[in-house]
Structure 1
Amino acid sequence: MDLKRYLLIGAIAVLSYMLLMEWSQFRTEHSAPVSNQAAPALNNNSNATAANSGFIPSETSTQDDFPSATADQHSAPVATVIPSANNIEVSTDTLKVRINPLGGDINFVALPKHYAAIDTPDQPFVLLEQGPVRTYIAQSGLIGKNGTDTRKGRPLFSSAQQQYQLQQGADELVVDLQLTTADNVNITKRFTFKRGKYVINVDYLINNGSAQNWSAGMFGQLKRDSSKDPGADTSGMGMAPYLGAAFTLVDEPYKKVSFDDMAETPYKDTRQGGWAALIQHYFLSAWIPDPNATNSFSTVKTADGFNLIRFTGPAVEVAPGQQATISSRFYAGPKDQYKLEEISPGLELSVDYGFLWLPAQGLFWLLTKIHALFGNWGAAIIGVTLLVKAAFFQLNAKAYTSMANMRKVQPKLLALRERYADDKAKQSQAMMKLYKDEKINPLGGCLPILVQMPVFISLYWVLMESVELRHAPFMLWINDLSAMDPYFILPLIMGVSMFIQQKLNPPPPDPMQAKVMQWMPVLFTFFFLFFPAGLVLYWVVNNVLSIAQQYVITKRIENS
């Protein structure tokens, strides 16, 4: 019976750790201001300065803001401080974007199909923004011999319109930013948006009207401060989700680099294709350079505390009178693993299920298939629970049979404990003989716990990582399966079901252990208050099915 005791201690330790993490996150959230997730009103007139216009200063003081290049020959009109710059606003069915004409950086992205909070469905979730509370922007430019983005400043583009909107019936929207250098090189920075997509094609179209060869390469980077993820609601999750950089390597498909790691050991790598991403709860942004080019990837912690996640592409040569296109893609949207896999290999791994990724992926696949039938994620969780119970029906039957037999011989065990109370060795020998005579496995009742824990942990990560379950309603008072039950009804039902199930189990022979077990339903109910409603729903349904199966088996053995 020692194994049961160890499992009990282990479960308490794990749940205590989750509660500690929850309390730590609660204290953090209430001690530091965070960005408002509601999308602010669009403002065309933003006074741009070196601090807030997107200007990237030289490689002194904040030099690491900008990838270095050799022999910069700055021939484009530059701006370090602009008296008044208007953001270019772009609206599609999936994205609301602001582009700063200074450098052509994306300094705002909102997602109309994903609202900020469940009680504000009219306010889209803000992924990127640049303001007094939070800085999180996507920058790109040209560096090298004839690069327009140099130590002296950023190019100031012009556009035909101030506002662009994807029209009804159209599948594509093109936004062109124009620039002509002093030596007659025409540069178009083109943003291409597509209906239903979160990928933006970012291309540089070079028309070399000069008498000299033109040479430059593209860079793209994500610039973010170290403020907490304002969209990470851990109230029902227990542990804070990952916030930081991620890359794909030749020998490591998914490499995470935290903000702390950027300061201690900056990351550098070179490979063909690849991507550079910034991961947060449910969402990510990523630069995806030319998959056929050899690109450099790196992270930088700047002197003023910003985190840079960047790629640098190879230089492109354009002869006089010739044209060329330098291409990349930028993704800003939800962590939809099936769609991310289509965008770039390995990007779907940003949906990180941890070390139990294999069963977690299987559970998510089952969830999606059942959801397709019923259209409700709560029903999908119940369906998965039924399938899991069916898969382990025979194994659980053997375990419950063993527990019922233990319950039946409990009076004999107590008699042996009293007879050999002063001789533990003989007591143990007598108990083992009784188990052998009665053909009972004293550890057989532990199997349901061992079987269900991987499923429980896997489902925990599925609920934590799958954006599909974010704000997903079930029925009645459960309007978000990824958050904790607002009225604690499900945890209370879970506690009652656990109490009933405990009464069907044989009482522990050790009095101290018996007292501890009596408090387990109360303790687990308290812990489950902080868990996602979807996870508690799984546990409740699982307990009800277990009670039904165990009750039938117990009564059959007692009556035999």
Structure 2
Amino acid sequence: MDDQNKNLILATVLSFLVVMVWFWLFPPEEPELTDLPPVAEAADVTTPSVAAETTSTPTTTPAASETVAEAARIAIETPEFKGSLSLQGARIDDLSLTQYREELADGSPIVHLLKPVGEAEAYFATFGWASAEGIAADQVPGPDTIWSVESGDALTPETPVTLVWDNGAGHIFRTEISVDEDFMFDYVQSVENTGTSNITLRPYGLLRRHGTPADLKNFFILHEGLVRMTDGELEETDYKKIVDYDLDPREGTQAVRLEATENGWIGYTDHYWMTTLIPEQGTAFRSTSKYFDSRDLYQAEAVMALQTVAPGETTEVTTRLYAGAKEWDAIRNYENEEGVTGFLDSIDWGWFFFLTKPIFWLLHNLNVIIGNMGWSIIALTFILKALVLPLAYKSYVSMAKMKELQPEMEALKEKSGEDKQALQQGMMKLYKDNKVNPAAGCMPILLQIPIFFSLYKVIFVTIELRHAPWIGWIKDLSAPDPSSIINLFGLLPWSAPEPGSFIALIAIGIMPIVLGVSMWLQQKLNPAPTDPTQKMIFAYMPWVFMFMLGGFASGLVLYWITNNVITFIQQYTIMRSHGSKPDLFGNITSSFKKAPPAKDAPAKPKNK
């Protein structure tokens, strides 16, 4: 490998080191946590109201602060949920995920996804109607309307609930709410016109989030905030950019709205959880993202097409609400089997989606067969290495020959002295005579980089790795190795340093140490750089990476260890098959015939 190629590799490695060190020394600032006091909804928000197809004039909802805590509730019970919906606004505002806990520790509370107004970080979904013609704004149900129960005592997958509201002006509104065994609610909104004239109005669903979530990661690799699909176009907007929206005169606040002519959805995504409004696919609707500065409140709306209801007629519209964990299997089912267009893109696959999607698909299916994510990562690594072996084979052969030529290269360097041009010409002749391609050794590194970052993305963003155990002390593959050299990996009675602290970066665990050793062994098979400075940097690199990756997810470290071990075995075997006999702790000997040294170069020194 010539100096130019070594410089390319060195620059890549150093750039990676600089980025990692920067995020250690200057991590993103944690958001300031504040408790939001109970507030009346009317003081904060407006609901969509439509005077015509092309205009939207916000109208303030009636104040109902005294009914927030008093409105009756209906229990929600499913295999995934427990909670309740409020008869005020037919709100789903109390929802906990029974299969997920906040922390891995025993006794940790289950994840509380949606919360009613009056609690910190209130977050809920509600549905209603916006008036247009023939019906007044106070004659349609909104976020604060108190509904009555027409049928159903509890909301379960087997028992839907029907709510009813009569405006007293000849119009009866109903909302039938059902839920499946995963994370999807169905809202069937209907209006019966018992009056004497046509009415025009449109149904909507909205999500309201009071403030940013307390556990906001603010990490560059992860998207948290608004996510929406509009006719095949995915939009991801973080909370900071939502706050910076320009004032939209049509909405009367900071807002960005998009018109979908066919398919789409809109909602908010967290690291592992998501709430999304999904209008009927194949129908036009308007999605709007708003921010109300007065109360630090975010609102996502799905407003459906105008409905004109003649006297004696009834019309209905179905809107779906996904509220729960971003489980790949469930989301894929809603996309493939139930027609939610592009729903898998609600998971943040990143720029390398063409790699992250198939890698996770393979990892998921391996886990279905094996039943353990740790062993599945190891199996995945074997498969990936097998796929790239044809490309890597020539590289390993070239690197074996390069290592054989190391003594001749050293002799040529000593003979050339400071004459860089003569050294370059001599090395090129040496490569040509021995049919060696120095650039071929770069191929394994170039192949490894996108795969590594794609797997890093998969392990970081997918909920399937969250709290997934492997063996022994590794209880969470999405978290760093909890063992530490400080307490001799659990043999001494004191605890390990807290994750994220400076001491924890130094007092690494078992897996990072194994990683460093595996990198060192693999490096011993590679030809050493002729430049002393480069040689020193490459010698320290395994131990630098050992500390750098010590704070990474243990699933990623497990992948890297497995990759290094497989690479070492492949490279060692290929070198032996070509007559090279690697000596990991000394020089290298060879049994195959060497090409004669260059005429200008001194005789190759014999190994002692």
Normalising by structure 1, we get a TM-score of 0.86
Q: Distance in 2 between matches of 1:149 and 1:4?
A: 74
Does residue 254 of the first structure (1) align with residue 231 of the second (2)?
no
- Which of 254, 258, 264 in structure 2 is aligned with 1:269? 258
Would you say 1:28 and 2:29 are equivalent positions?
A: yes
Equivalent residue for 1:402?
A: 398
Which of these two proteins has the greater Rg computed from alpha carbons? 2
Counterparts in 2 of 1:33-48, with a 5 A limit? 33=33
User: What residue number does 1:559 align with?
Assistant: 591
Q: Secondary structure at the match of 1:176?
A: strand
Q: What is the rounded CA distance, in whole Å, between the counterparts of 2:273 and 2:257 in structure 1?
A: 24
Within a 5 Å distance, the mapping from 1:118-133 to structure 2 comes to 118-120=104-106, 123-130=109-116, 132-133=119-120
**Aligned partners of 1:242, 1:152: CA distance in 2, in Å?**
31
Q: Report deviation, 1:229.
A: 5.7
Letter in 1 for 2:314: Q
- Asked if residue 144 in structure 1 is aligned to residue 131 in structure 2, the reply is yes
CA distance in 2 between partners of 1:81 and 1:353 (Å): 41
Which residue, 225, 249, 257 being the options, matches 1:244? Answer: 225
How far is 1:133 from its partner?
3.3
Whichever residue aligns with residue 136 of structure 1, its letter is Y
Please tell me whether residue 191 in structure 1 is matched to residue 177 in structure 2. Answer: yes
Work out the CA distance in 2 between the residues paired with 1:397 and 1:316.
Answer: 65
Question: Cα gap change, 1:461/1:400 in structure 2, threshold over 3 Å: closer, same or farther?
Answer: same
Equivalent residue of 1:28, what SS?
Answer: coil
CA RMSD of aligned residues (A): 2.9
2:139 and 2:389 map into 1 onto residues whose CA distance is 65
2:481 alignment partner AA: D
**What residue in structure 2 maps to residue 523 of structure 1?**
544
Q: For 2:419, give the aligned amino acid.
A: D
* Alpha-carbon distance in 1 for matches of 2:140, 2:315: 21
Indicate which of 264, 277, 301 corresponds to 1:287. Answer: 277
Q: Assess if the C-alpha contact under 8 Å between 2:164 and 2:174 holds in 1.
A: yes
Matches within 5 A, 1:371-382: 371-382=367-378
The residue aligned with 2:362 is 366
Instruction: Report the Cα offset of residue 120 of structure 1.
Output: 4.4
Counterpart CA distance in 1 for 2:542 and 2:229 is 44
Task: Label 1:382 to 1:121 Cα distance change in 2 as closer, same or farther (>3 A).
Answer: farther
Q: Which residue of 2 aligns with 1:497?
A: 518
Q: Identify the residue that residue 498 of structure 2 maps to in structure 1.
A: none
Residue 210 of structure 1 is matched in structure 2 by 195
Say if 1:152 and 1:299 are closer, same or farther in 2 by CA, change over 3 A: closer
Comparing 6-15 and 153-162, the one that deviates more: 153-162
- Cα distance change, pair 225–181 in 1 and its aligned pair in 2 (3 A): closer
% same residue: 28
Partner letter of residue 335 of structure 2? E
Check conservation: 2:199, 2:310, Cα contact below 8 A.
yes
Question: Map of 1:315-394 to 2, 5 A cutoff?
Answer: 315-337=306-328, 338-342=332-336, 343=338, 344-394=340-390
Count of residues in Structure 1 that have an aligned counterpart in Structure 2: 525
- The offset of 1:214, in angstroms, is 3.3
CA–CA distance in structure 2, aligned partners of residues 332 and 184 of structure 1: 34
SS of 1:370's partner is helix
1:56·1:154 contact (CA, 8 Å) conserved in 2?
no
Counterpart for residue 445 of structure 2: 449
Q: In structure 1, give the amino acid aligned to 2:273.
A: F
Deviation at 1:549, TM superposition (A): 1.9
Partner secondary structure for residue 555 of structure 2: helix
Distance in 2 of aligned mates of 1:387 and 1:153: 52
CA distance in 1, matches of 2:12, 2:370: 37
SS in 1 for 2:438: coil
Structure 1 runs of 4+ with >6 Å offset: 149-153, 160-163
The whole-number CA distance in structure 2 between the counterparts of 1:317 and 1:8 is 68
CA distance in 2, matches of 1:479, 1:496: 23
Quote the residue 1:40 is aligned against.
none
Alignment of 1:89-168 (within 5 A): 89-120=75-106, 123-130=109-116, 132-145=119-132, 146=135, 147=137, 154-159=144-149, 164=154, 166=156
- Report SS of the residue matched to 1:191: strand
Q: 1:102 to 1:79 in 2, by over 3 A?
A: farther
Matched with 2:489 is none
Question: Which one of 200, 207, 228 corresponds to residue 185 of structure 2?
Answer: 200
3-state SS, counterpart of residue 476 of structure 1: coil
Q: Displacement of 1:377 after TM fit?
A: 1.3
Q: Provide structure 2 residue ranges, at least 5 long, that are not aligned to the other structure.
A: 247-254, 484-508, 581-589, 593-608
2:50–2:201 contact (8 Å) kept in structure 1: no
**Which structure is richer in relative contact order (CA contacts within 8 A, separation 6 or more)?**
1
Report deviation, 1:152. 9.8
Q: Secondary structure at the match of 1:17?
A: helix
1:547/1:121 CA distance change after superposition, 3 Å = farther
Q: Extract unaligned runs of 5+ from structure 1.
A: 36-48
Is contact 2:171–2:191 with CA below 8 Å preserved after alignment? yes
Give, in angstroms, the shift of residue 245 of structure 1: 1.1
| Deviation for aligned residue 1:507 | 1.5
Which residue number in structure 2 is paired with residue 39 of structure 1?
Answer: none
